[in-house]
Structure 1
Amino acid sequence: MTEMRALALALILLAPLPARAEVEPGDLTLTVTAELNGNSAPFAREMVLLKIHGVYKQPILLEEVVQPSLANFSWTQLGRDHWSRTKLPDGQSAIAFDRTVAVFPHHAGQFTIEPFIHKLTVNDVGERRVVEVRSKPIPFPVAPWTEPTGGPDAKEPWWLPAKDVAITDSWSPDPETIKVGETARRIVTLEAQGMVAEGLPPRPVMRTRGIITFAGPVTRETLLTPSGPVARATYQWDVKPGVPEIIPLDAIAIPWFDTSTRTMRETEIPARQIGGGLPDRETDRAPPAIPSPLVTAAAALAAFGLGLALIGFGLGRPSLRLSASARRALHAAARAGDPAGFRAALDAAMRDAPDLARIWRGRPDVTAALAALDRSVFGAAGAPVPDLPALARALSRPERVPGPPGPERLAALDGPAR
């Protein structure tokens, strides 16, 4: 593959161009352009792309790029150099050279990107001649961070400047299905557009009461796309519950700086629940196996016998529970200390589960907390806010469905005795 690329490059460089008597001004040009995010001066550690572009009318025999020292910057070249044939506005043929370098200023200040030099060996009137083509120096101001918190120099939170950030969270098996002593693996993938993998944060800390976590390896990679680099980091944990109770696992906030809008934003690794029931999402359920007729008949007979045995002793009543998405919305509003958001999430949950709403209205502790919530949202300013995390936990628990009143035993099959 390398030999084929070298051959293709040689064909481009040595391809016949219109014969020229000598190298004239304008025949060989090299420009460097800094692509500023949001057309604003970057902050420290924010990535800026330098686009190096050369246009050469003369046939090139050999070439070498001499890069400036880039003091006060870290840098990395993105991809290989690209050579191509191009047509100029006047119709002449030329050779185009392109290279992309990502630079990261170390600190605020007024800097200059010194010239790049492209050493070219050309055929000048039948003689080999080395020509140095220089770009112009570029003023490069780096802005200081003026906000009261965060920024590139703060130890926490991690400084994450990007065009966009996305998080995916996967568990195997679903954390709600595991019991004490069992293990689930959590894999979180963080992708940031407009930066390289070395700038992504270290593995977040995931701990809470009642679980044991074993941190796995962290993998990082930089993907080169036509719109720029995309950084990806994958974090992994093995999670084991140590208590039989339901364990709420809080969301993990990831603040980041939007380089396009020049504002701070936040995404999060979502909250989950460990233990407490079957998965609520359809994608987490495997399709049931179709039993054979003999197995079906045996199961029916066993169920009939069990039903006869339980007549008169009372069967266990079914339970109701909010969906996983509704529970997550309540816990998120509780963590944010947002009573209005909590009330809105609760309204949506009650519309989706009216039977649960009726059960809650029959529980004095829940009705008292809901009344306090309504006073804090709709009442006079300064009304106390109830304990939202405790209320979210109370509303997230399964609730037994009350059974209808009636006789404890079936009537005699043959009717009353005469």
Structure 2
Amino acid sequence: MLFANAPARAEIDPGDLTLTVTPERNGNADPFSREMVLLRIRGVYRQPILLEEVIQPSLANFSWTQLGRDTWSKTRLPDGQVAIAFDRVVAIFPHHAGDFTIEPFLHRLTVNDGGVRKVVDVPSPPVQLSVANWTKPVGGPDAKEPWWLPAREVTITDSWSPDPETVKIGESTRRIVTLEAHGMVAEGLPPRPVMRTRGILTFAGPVTRETIITPTGPIARATYQWDVRPAIAEVIPLDAIIIPWFDTVSRTLREAEIPARQIGGGLPDREEDAKPITPASPLVVVGAALAAFGLGLALVGFGAPTRSRARLDRATRRALVLAAAAGDATAFRARLAPVLQGAPDLARAWRADPAIAAGLDALDGTLYGRGSVTAPDLTDLARRLGRPVRAAAPTGTDRGRLADLDGRA
């Protein structure tokens, strides 16, 4: 009876049942103490499995947690045959530095071997794992300050209710800070930070911790809570709180920050400043409108007679300046032609200015060969043309010297 109950070894070809354990090191580097290492356990079995049981070694120098359930699937082998694949992921956290041997995992399988149920133990090869010593001058797993926080990613969320800037003496606000670290369990997160400054009273609330299991590793979450009450009627600055952590991907020390805030000072000090603006009386509005209308009539009807001023638009002024800077008389004249035809007020004003009229004559003489003339100073002409001018009164049939520039015979 004793031998009948003992596990029997089936006559199975080597390689039919294999179990491997592969450590996944962050950054392909030796981990430090309390840094997560993933053990990927994989079995590949050619024979049908009736029952199974994984016997895990003690892992005496590690803390560990299994990530999710075991998975079974079909896989195709290099020789084309289809086999059964078994996968399990375990996260381990070494307690201290040193060289360690992870003893074999054992997969106890019940198989059907030619119609006979047989129990077969499939061990994995032992795995050597080195845990490195911290050699940098600051931080590290053994330092008392700051807290050792090795993680793939650290995020902080900060919320207040109500907004701290609106709180006055005798009132309180609640601050809740949530710290999340990817690649850690909740027990590895730091204790509640100290939040203390002059002029406020703080009442620390409970700390809640939880570990969220994901296929890529655990996510540790801690929630810290304070009730804050100002004790003085002044604006109280609350400094930022720095939380150092070790980035296990880039293998560098980094910092996360609980942001700085301000207590008080966000609302007006006097109640009348916070009151909404009272709308003006309709009678006042109508009276003001009539007064403005009357003033406008007085300025138009009885004011000193003025003459309107005309000016080239900004785009045309800029185009003339650019053409003058480039010495391009053709572009200068082409840009000016539509203005002379479409803005009679400007054309009359320029005709009345001897300097501008002479410059335009010289420009046309240069372009169209009207005798031997000196080329105009385009920069000076552009400056004169860009000035606002008083619109000259129409002169009837007087065409003047710029008639040809208007495009009329």
What is the TM-score with the length of structure 2 in the denominator? 0.62
Residue 226 of structure 1, CA deviation:
4.2
Tell me what 1:82 maps to: 71
Residue 219 of structure 1, CA deviation:
2.0
Tell me what 1:45 maps to: 34
Q: 2:96 aligns with which of 82, 88, 107?
A: 107
Tell me what 2:143 maps to: 154
In 1, the alpha carbon distance for the partners of 2:243 and 2:176 equals 16
Kindly indicate whether residue 231 of structure 2 is the aligned counterpart of residue 228 of structure 1.
Answer: no
Tell me what 2:301 maps to: none
Kindly indicate whether residue 27 of structure 2 is the aligned counterpart of residue 27 of structure 1.
Answer: no
Tell me what 1:136 maps to: 125
Q: 1:199 aligns with which of 173, 183, 188?
A: 188
Once the two structures are superposed, residues 197-225 of structure 1 have per-residue CA deviations (whole angstroms, 9 ceiling, x without a partner) of 22111111111111111222222222333
Q: Which has the larger radius of gyration?
A: 2
Residue type of the alignment partner of 1:129: K
Residue 300 of structure 1, CA deviation:
4.6
Tell me what 1:172 maps to: 161
Kindly indicate whether residue 173 of structure 2 is the aligned counterpart of residue 184 of structure 1.
Answer: yes
What SS does the aligned partner of 2:118 have?
strand
What SS does the aligned partner of 1:129 have?
strand
Tell me what 1:66 maps to: 55
Once the two structures are superposed, residues 206-248 of structure 1 have per-residue CA deviations (whole angstroms, 9 ceiling, x without a partner) of 1111111122222222233343332222111111111111111
Residue 89 of structure 1, CA deviation:
2.9
Residue 194 of structure 1, CA deviation:
1.9
What SS does the aligned partner of 1:176 have?
helix
Q: 1:95 aligns with which of 78, 84, 97?
A: 84
Residue type of the alignment partner of 1:242: A
Residue type of the alignment partner of 1:246: V
Query: Which deviates more from structure 2 when the two are superposed, residues 211-220 or residues 180-189?
Result: 211-220
Residue 278 of structure 1, CA deviation:
4.1
Tell me what 1:350 maps to: none
Q: 1:276 aligns with which of 257, 265, 281?
A: 265
Residue type of the alignment partner of 1:74: S
Residue type of the alignment partner of 2:251: R
Q: 2:106 aligns with which of 112, 117, 124?
A: 117
Alignment check: 8 A CA contact 2:67 2:214 kept: no
Alignment check: 8 A CA contact 2:91 2:217 kept: no
Q: 2:241 aligns with which of 240, 243, 252?
A: 252
What SS does the aligned partner of 1:195 have?
coil
Tell me what 1:7 maps to: none
Residue 104 of structure 1, CA deviation:
0.9
Kindly indicate whether residue 207 of structure 2 is the aligned counterpart of residue 208 of structure 1.
Answer: no
Once the two structures are superposed, residues 29-83 of structure 1 have per-residue CA deviations (whole angstroms, 9 ceiling, x without a partner) of 1110100011111111111111111111111111111111112111111212122
Number of equivalent positions:
267
- Mapping for residues 233-312 of structure 1, pairs under 5 Å: 233-278=222-267, 300=280
In 2, the alpha carbon distance for the partners of 1:182 and 1:33 equals 57
In 1, the alpha carbon distance for the partners of 2:42 and 2:203 equals 49
Q: 1:145 aligns with which of 134, 154, 166?
A: 134
In 2, the alpha carbon distance for the partners of 1:146 and 1:126 equals 60
In 2, the alpha carbon distance for the partners of 1:256 and 1:299 equals 57
What SS does the aligned partner of 1:38 have?
helix
What SS does the aligned partner of 1:148 have?
coil
Alignment check: 8 A CA contact 1:23 1:58 kept: no
Alignment check: 8 A CA contact 1:22 1:125 kept: no
In 1, the alpha carbon distance for the partners of 2:265 and 2:224 equals 25
- Mapping for residues 331-370 of structure 1, pairs under 5 Å: none
In 2, the alpha carbon distance for the partners of 1:129 and 1:168 equals 56
In 2, the alpha carbon distance for the partners of 1:146 and 1:252 equals 26
Residue 90 of structure 1, CA deviation:
2.6
Runs (5+) with no aligned partner, structure 2: 1-9, 269-275, 285-409
Tell me what 1:18 maps to: none
Alignment check: 8 A CA contact 2:245 2:253 kept: yes
Residue 23 of structure 1, CA deviation:
2.3
Residue 124 of structure 1, CA deviation:
1.2
What is the TM-score with the length of structure 1 in the denominator? 0.61
Runs (5+) with no aligned partner, structure 1: 1-20, 280-290, 305-418
In 2, the alpha carbon distance for the partners of 1:96 and 1:198 equals 33
In 2, the alpha carbon distance for the partners of 1:89 and 1:212 equals 69
In 2, the alpha carbon distance for the partners of 1:222 and 1:133 equals 32
What SS does the aligned partner of 1:147 have?
coil
What RMSD, in angstroms, separates the aligned Cα atoms of the two structures?
A: 2.2
